[in-house]
Structure 1
């Protein structure tokens, strides 16, 4: 169970790195505008906000990734698990905020939150029964 939870955390990490790339490097490009449903004008006006948000997503991914690495590569699994829970828990919280605050963005919030949610559940069960 623990390995499955860590793999799910790694998948959440990869997704958030992808979101970082979209928000920081591709926000005004056709792919970024299509992904986020913005016009060219909206993308230009909100570029600095997206840039900041992209780094927020990257930092969450870094915390979760370090947690996964520490969990696998050291004897200090408690620290690794804590970092994973902090990273994916924050990702899940952000997805929940998006889900509740923007009904038109609910499909995106579900995509953003499914790996973190599953990671929290599966890793939590794995740690509890270990």
Structure 2
């Protein structure tokens, strides 16, 4: 069960690294604007906000990856705590996105399903008890 949690948490981290890339490095690119449904003018205006938000996604991914490595190599309990913190925060952010605007349900599912499954799998594996 624990290896499955690592895979799901790793997938969640990869999604959040990709979101970081979109928000912090490519916010005004045509393809990124198409993903987020924004105009060139709006993207330019919101660029500092997106840059900051992208780093939040990167930090969640880093906490999760450190948790995976820690759990798999040295300290299962500390690693599990970090995976719970990273993935739990990802799930919470997805819920905020979904409840803030019903049209954002699809992006909320993209960013929230893998970490939610990772948390459930960690619980079923009995880690962090």
TM over 0.5, shorter chain? yes
Deviation track 1:96-123 (CA, whole Å, cap 9, x = no partner) reads 0001111111110011101011001111
Cα deviations across residues 49-90 of structure 1 (Å, max 9, x unaligned)? 00000000000001000000101111x100000000000000
TM-score by length of 2: 0.96
Unaligned 5+ segments in structure 2 are none
Q: What SS does structure 2 have at the residue aligned with 1:46?
A: helix
Q: How is 1:33-44 mapped onto 2 (pairs within 5 angstroms)?
A: 33-44=33-44
| 1:1-130 → structure 2 map (5 Å cutoff) | 1-74=1-74, 76-127=75-126
Q: Secondary structure of the equivalent of 1:27?
A: coil
Return the TM-score normalized by structure 1: 0.95
Q: After the TM superposition, list the runs of 4 or more consecutive aligned residues in structure 1 that deviate by more than 2 angstroms.
A: none
